[in-house]
Amino acid sequence: MELLNTTEEPQKAFSFPFNCTVDTSYRFTFYQVSYSVIFLLGLATNSLALRRLCQSPCTMNSTAIYMISLSAADMFFVISLPLRIYYYNQKAKALLRWTPGVAYCHLTFILKYISLYGGIFFLVCIAVDRYLAVVHPLASALRRKRAAQLLSGGIWCLVLGLSVGLPLMRSAAGPHQPCLLDPSSHRHRTIILVALGLVFGSFLLPTVILLYSYCRVLSVLHQPRHRSRGKRRSRQHTLRVIYWVLAVFLLCFVPYHINLLAYTLTHVGLLPHCGLAKVTRAVHPVVLSLASFNCCLNPFIYYFSSSLVHREAAGGGGSSSH
């Protein structure tokens, strides 16, 4: 299953008739093209963002720290893309006879989820940072440089633990299991469903926090005192950051997780609907590529927030390390 493997898909759904299948052979070419584009764009945009952020120590405040962590998480995924492109190239040539090793499966899986959930968590950090700056501007201690560094370090530990822990769960299925778990096995289904719960929880809770933070920010920004000429530019920049983060969530993360839920439940037999199984499997390469494309869109958040970073650093807001 996709939850425990980054490269394969099951050949048939559990408990479905034998003819409940759909041709997804297009995915070999589709992944090679989409991942090549994502690799080139992601490498260029994230390298530029990291360079700009790291070369401006005078503007190193809480927002900049979260942006550095976000770009670093994206780079983990970008550097793994040549492995994926090579895999699908070999799959297409070998007509499904080439099988990757366990180390390959674990490495690509870990790098993918570092990027995916590191991206989600650090986007939430940016949302909470904007919430504190706009809704609770006097709570400067929570936006100090030291606090942002500690929070970023904690999130990195959480992301690494989740990304490494899920492959270890897959290893519990047996020492000689292939890269792909079998949804018809009761033991494998249990592991798949536990992984689904962890993955979905890692998406739903941050989404609730992000939506709450931005709803509060938007309600404050629409008040008359924030429409004055002196605050108009700062308000516009904050709104651009909010809308861009929401766009990344709606385009990249929401379709992937909705499809992942239906995809998993149909293929383990808990949602025995052949039509839904066909649809989710057919669109799976598309939504997975959209989720992966977030690493190309995230650097634009730095572009929209850079003026806020420089303005707050110049004013001393949230930049103190004491």
- Using CA atoms, how far residue 89 sits from 28, 32, 79, 84, in Å, is 7, 7, 17, 9
Contact 77, 112 (CB under 8 A): yes
- Residue 58 has what pLDDT? 58
Backbone angles phi, psi at 24, to 5 degrees: -120, 30
What CA–CA distance (Å, rounded) separates 82 from 286? Answer: 19
pTM, rounded to two decimals: 0.82
- Residue 15 has what pLDDT? 46
What CA–CA distance (Å, rounded) separates 296 from 317? Answer: 29
Q: Which amino acid is at 259?
A: N
CA 186 to chain centre: 29
Residue ranges in the chain whose pLDDT is less than 70:
1-19, 56-59, 94-101, 169-187, 225-233, 306-322
HSE, CB side, 13 Å, CA atoms: give it for residue 41: 15
The first and second tokens of residue 233, run together, are: 């530019």
What CA–CA distance (Å, rounded) separates 126 from 101? Answer: 38
- Residue 314 has what pLDDT? 52
CATH 1.20.1070.10 assigned to domain 27-223+230-315? The reply is yes
- Residue 11 has what pLDDT? 43
pLDDT digits (tens, 9 = 90+) for 52-67: 877 766 567 888 889 8
- Residue 125 has what pLDDT? 92
The first and second tokens of residue 39, run together, are: 């690799």
What CA–CA distance (Å, rounded) separates 305 from 266? Answer: 41
